[in-house]
Structure 1
């Protein structure tokens, strides 16, 4: 009996605790109730996500509360009602009454319009503000600098204009500042050096000019610094070498002058250095790489760097890619030493002025591009499989430079050129005479057999012409007339992977991509594409990507190679960006694309709305005109600007509005309203 009383008492206590917890998770502020209703109305949210009669803390999607007060609002991924879609706008004034709000996340939720100045004054407790891909425009209000508790500020992928507000430097608690992919101008505020806790600063893909503030080198907590694709000038400040914790540095696609600062050799935690297409000149500092033991990716391509390649390039144990192509490096290739995992890395030394004989150890490397240099001598068959060697001065190999070009290069430097093997050891007169006789016999045999071959070819052509004349008038069946049978599998040439890797983005490991897709699980699967399965994943830096998994046992290898060649050779804003690749496995290739969060073109032209209203809403004709204009621009590029022109079969309308990523896709955005269309090259 006593035991029963104890059980009843315990149950009662548990019940009371649950009731208290439920009470705490019930919204108990009338002013916040009213504010949420106004926000629901101004954003035009659906009743199924924010039901008007239900408690927001318990039943509204994306709402979180603490002690009966709203602390988190996330409308990312929610859809508007039919009325809300008719008038989307930046209307979030009601947030000012949610005084304990810590997080507002509207990533991917369209909020066209500018951020009002009042936004920065009414949310004193805000810690996270995420407005990525929201179609926000106008200037960044200086009032955001008043959000003293803010830790994460994401404003990327919008249409923000004007100068960067210097007041942002007052955000002393800020950890991440991402203003990338906007239309910002002016210079980088010197006040940014006061953000002492900042770990990520991303200002890439804007129109920022001026110099890189030396004060950025005093933000010792910085892990990621990305200033790429801007119009920055002058020299790279050596003070950046003080960032001992920096892991990723991207200064590519700017207009710097001068040499690479020797101080950057002190970035001992650096894993990725990308300073391609930045106007750098001069030699790499002596011993520059010796202190960068953690480097995995080095991109210094398309600069004006010269001198010799330091031997330390082979010494990084975790190296995955080094691209120093399209510079003026000269001298012989340094001896490798084959330390660590260097043989698994990809090396692109193409289009420089390297010369001399090739070290036989290049056959051990995963992939090496040495094209467009002046190497001479012979190369073993093993080395040819792993290296791209065209446009050199090598013996026997096809697609080499002319003898005149090679002789001129070597003579200008006072070096000896083997003249493709013709300048070998001196032979005796008898050996020379015998050699001439042998060559004469060879020429005679070539003439005889060449004449016979020409006769056979002429006969074959004549037979084909007669056959065509006889078959003229026979109706074409199935639209495939004049097409012969497909070649047998045994006789088909297996295409090689393209050697130009600079257009294929970053190099990812298989383990890394398997991790971000939960081991390619069904929950991450987007669709089974005709050229590969598509999975969604989120990289370590928070970037959402689509990973195409191409199984060469099941899919056509030639189509896959064609897709790589297109991305390796063509650079145009109408292509969905290819961010990277993984070629570790022979029969399974992984391509990493930018994720496009919205729907496809077909459903945008005639799109069914939610269950509350099953009518169809068509795109307006101004938007359709923009789509047609974008499509025409891209097709014109393929037909008239590509050399040679790209011929496509059956251009199919595919995806719009910053699309989800399928096969080799073109997309045509207009930055004003983010409307786009896409096409597949079949």
Structure 2
């Protein structure tokens, strides 16, 4: 009996845990199924069913038959996370990264065992809550790549178990706390790309003695690097780039301040090992700050140092020779400083050096002999120094070399033969030195940029130039080249720039140049070329700069040159004859035909003879002609007093009439109102806006409540010259063109003290207000524009610009395209407005250049930084910014990471991140995802740095219409089936350096950015 009782009790005892465990997993399954429903039943987690165990679901990990880990990364979740997820009582890991989760920081404070929380790459907003310390068991926290804002609370310093903290790439605009220094277990701290208030690095950060990785790029840091960093004995990766740090780099920054070392009373043998603190650092990036002083000698002690970036600072003095001895150094970048002395000669001899960039300093002496000793060197960028001597012969055997830039130095001798043909070399820039020798018969197969101007190269261009098929830029100006320009050079179909000026070339210019379809600049001036100018030049569609001056060309100017959209033209000092093309007869080309005595023009604006006049051929006057002239002169003298009387009288009458009739109306459309209707309603009650040129009013003009918009400029009697130019430009352009996507100018009214422009009224005002007004508190523009409406607006605006660029009798450059200048009517039809900065190309020759930068920051094309010459591609760039605004919802000058919108979009593009991450969070229609991605790519293409790489507005319009489901042929055609590759092209290389998923990406010398994109 006793044995039976014992057996029964034993069975009861062992069944209790099984029953409890079964209840636990059932409860967890119910929690997860409820969670799935609250998340909107995402199709990506359809394996969650009531009939299976959660431990068998791919996204779930269990321990002891209880759910401990939930992995929902990249599951297309668009709903907020409910607090019921914390009903999983043993949850230790929650991964929600790479979704579209909105709302504030999720309420997870009841997850009492949570150790890992990843919320990165979502749409969270608002501040990090003060009660964050309630998640006291956290070891890993990642909230990067969201829209969190405000301050980081001091309470985060109470998460004593935290080892990893990522808050990078948010909208934090407040402060971060010194209490982070209390996280003594912290190993990784990533705070990069946040626009914090200007802050010094807290001294308390020196208490993070276990820290391995510190990433604070572009966090608005100021002041000096604290001395307390010498306590960071475990640090391996330090990145403080892109801030406003100043002062010297502390000499003892990476060395523990040991005060006592006791080694007596031991039995030690062998060498004393080097201090661990001098061994840890692998990467140091202090670039793009304002640091001063010299490069510390202590850098030479960092035996594991792989990357050293000190570029774009104000460092002075010489480089420590010990840096050249570092055994692990692969990337060394100190360009754009004020460093002097010689380069350490042992660079590359002791390490596998890959990148060596020392440009824009004051280094002297020779280039180190052994840079490619390890056979992995990729970049030598040493331009703009005082370096001299010959290029080391060893570099001629460096097959891995990709770019070699020594321009603006004092080098001499010949380029090593092997360097010309280095297998991977794509860029060779050695201009402005004293190199000599001849061009090789062979060139590296991948060479795209060859710049050898201002040297002493001689001989002929070899006929094998035809094999240099990938060449895009060939600059060989001001050398000693001679002979004929070989016709084989016309085989280079990828050329955009060809400079052969300042040599001794003779013979004719090759005529078979139709393959130069991409050429934008051709300069063969200051040679001895002869014969006629090839007519094919007039058929080069992208040619902007043409200089054939100081040669011996003869014959007529080919008429086709007049059809080119040239920003500069020089045909001076030649033997040209006949008529110049009529399109070139304007003041933009007043210095283009000097010293050509036999040229003439049909209707001369320039200082050229009239082709229709024979007066200049007369040898003299007969007596009859002299008598006629004398009689005419006497009559004129007698008539002057009489004419003067009538002129003065009429002038006084005219002035009196002008004084009485103050206002004058000039109509461009049929009007149903008078100037009286307008003038009587210019009151503050009707004011709807104001800008740099004046005020804008909405005025009702009839009983049907039809309205017009009136722009009033000049509120003082003293007329501003700039406003006068804007007024005349807008009246001339809008008064002469008609297009449904361009603002209709009804009339202008001129008075003594002000001028009025009367437009059709646009009920929905500007695109900028609809995209960005809803982000401002109290805005009435609270409705998010859906994607079909945005695409309709993009197509409409593109149609207006396409008409201006390609269909107007006189092409127009707007020069201030932006979302606030795209207005919307009651049906959200887009119209281009505000032509105050626009210019007509042929009617106003000055439209080819401008004395000041016009337009709006954030929308300005890069070429404004280095030239006043502009063409229609500046509008394409600005329109590309508008497209990026439409797909991202971000303002042109207001993004995270301390970048403008274009830099931010290219930064994201260069890291190959999913495009959906940067789309406007207000657009939830997944059915339009393909169209949005396509428009994003078009915006990227439009904002390329090089004007020649941007599409025309005609191409942009075609691509945008292809994105419309109902547009073009075949309404059912999918966006993915549309071939827009000719527009999008390909983007190689990295536009901006940065980080991906919290890890360092590839670095690029910004002097090479425009070469690669």
Task: Say yes or no: TM over 0.5.
Answer: yes
Q: How many aligned positions are there?
A: 488
Alignment of 1:120-519 (within 5 A): 120-121=300-301, 123-257=302-436, 259-262=437-440, 265-284=442-461, 286-336=462-512, 338-339=514-515, 342=517, 344-365=519-540, 366-367=542-543, 368-386=546-564, 388-391=569-572, 392-397=574-579, 400=593, 402=595, 477-478=717-718, 489=732, 492-495=843-846, 497=848
Q: What corresponds to 2:191 in structure 1?
A: 61
- Retained in 1: the 8 A contact 2:93–2:115? yes
Give the whole-Å Cα distance in 1 for the aligned partners of 2:951 and 2:621: 47
Change (3 A) 1:400 1:153: same
Q: What SS does the corresponding residue of 2:347 show, helix, strand or coil?
A: helix
- How far 1:209 moved relative to its partner? 0.9
Q: What corresponds to 2:68 in structure 1?
A: 12
Give the whole-Å Cα distance in 2 for the aligned partners of 1:253 and 1:504: 21
- Retained in 1: the 8 A contact 2:431–2:451? yes
- How far 1:360 moved relative to its partner? 1.8
Is 1:525 paired with 2:855? no
Stretch of structure 1 that moved more, 371-380 or 488-497: 488-497
Change (3 A) 1:256 1:193: same
Change (3 A) 1:269 1:57: same
Q: What corresponds to 1:79 in structure 2?
A: 221
Q: What SS does the corresponding residue of 1:298 show, helix, strand or coil?
A: strand
- Retained in 2: the 8 A contact 1:72–1:102? no
Q: Deviations for 1:257-304, whole angstroms, at most 9, x for unmatched residues?
A: 3x33315x33111011111122323322x2241221111111112223
Is 1:70 paired with 2:250? no
Q: What corresponds to 1:108 in structure 2?
A: 288
Change (3 A) 1:148 1:479: same
Give the whole-Å Cα distance in 1 for the aligned partners of 2:306 and 2:24: 48
Change (3 A) 1:495 1:350: farther
Give the whole-Å Cα distance in 2 for the aligned partners of 1:379 and 1:71: 66
- How far 1:67 moved relative to its partner? 14
Give the whole-Å Cα distance in 2 for the aligned partners of 1:50 and 1:329: 71
Q: Deviations for 1:349-396, whole angstroms, at most 9, x for unmatched residues?
A: 233221101222111113243233221112332223337352122113
- How far 1:214 moved relative to its partner? 1.7
- Retained in 2: the 8 A contact 1:212–1:236? yes
- How far 1:208 moved relative to its partner? 0.5
Stretch of structure 1 that moved more, 177-186 or 348-357: 348-357
Stretch of structure 1 that moved more, 51-60 or 192-201: 51-60
Change (3 A) 1:436 1:513: closer
> Paired residue for 2:297, among 110, 117, 124?
117
- Retained in 1: the 8 A contact 2:848–2:869? no
Give the whole-Å Cα distance in 1 for the aligned partners of 2:411 and 2:212: 43
Q: Deviations for 1:31-51, whole angstroms, at most 9, x for unmatched residues?
A: xx9xxxxxxxxxxxx864884
- How far 1:165 moved relative to its partner? 0.3
Q: What SS does the corresponding residue of 1:322 show, helix, strand or coil?
A: strand
- Retained in 1: the 8 A contact 2:189–2:213? no
Change (3 A) 1:538 1:93: farther
Which blocks of at least 5 consecutive residues in structure 2 are unaligned? Answer: 1-18, 29-64, 71-90, 95-113, 117-137, 143-161, 163-174, 193-204, 227-243, 256-276, 581-591, 601-612, 656-715, 734-841, 850-862, 911-944, 955-990, 992-1013
**CA radius of gyration, larger in:** 2
Q: Under a length normalisation based on structure 2, what TM-score does the superposition of the two structures give?
A: 0.41
Give the whole-Å Cα distance in 2 for the aligned partners of 1:350 and 1:141: 47
Q: Which has the bigger relative contact order, CA under 8 A and spacing at least 6? A: 1
- How far 1:495 moved relative to its partner? 3.6
Once superposed, what is the RMSD of the aligned Cα atoms?
A: 5.4
- How far 1:190 moved relative to its partner? 1.1
- How far 1:513 moved relative to its partner? 7.9
Which blocks of at least 5 consecutive residues in structure 1 are unaligned? Answer: 27-32, 34-45, 405-418, 422-434, 544-578, 589-594, 596-682
- Retained in 2: the 8 A contact 1:348–1:370? yes
Give the whole-Å Cα distance in 1 for the aligned partners of 2:443 and 2:363: 31
Q: Deviations for 1:560-583, whole angstroms, at most 9, x for unmatched residues?
A: xxxxxxxxxxxxxxxxxxx96548
Give the whole-Å Cα distance in 1 for the aligned partners of 2:869 and 2:345: 33
- How far 1:198 moved relative to its partner? 1.1
Give the whole-Å Cα distance in 2 for the aligned partners of 1:357 and 1:585: 33
Stretch of structure 1 that moved more, 243-252 or 79-88: 79-88
Q: What SS does the corresponding residue of 2:287 show, helix, strand or coil?
A: coil
Q: Deviations for 1:149-168, whole angstroms, at most 9, x for unmatched residues?
A: 22221111111110000121
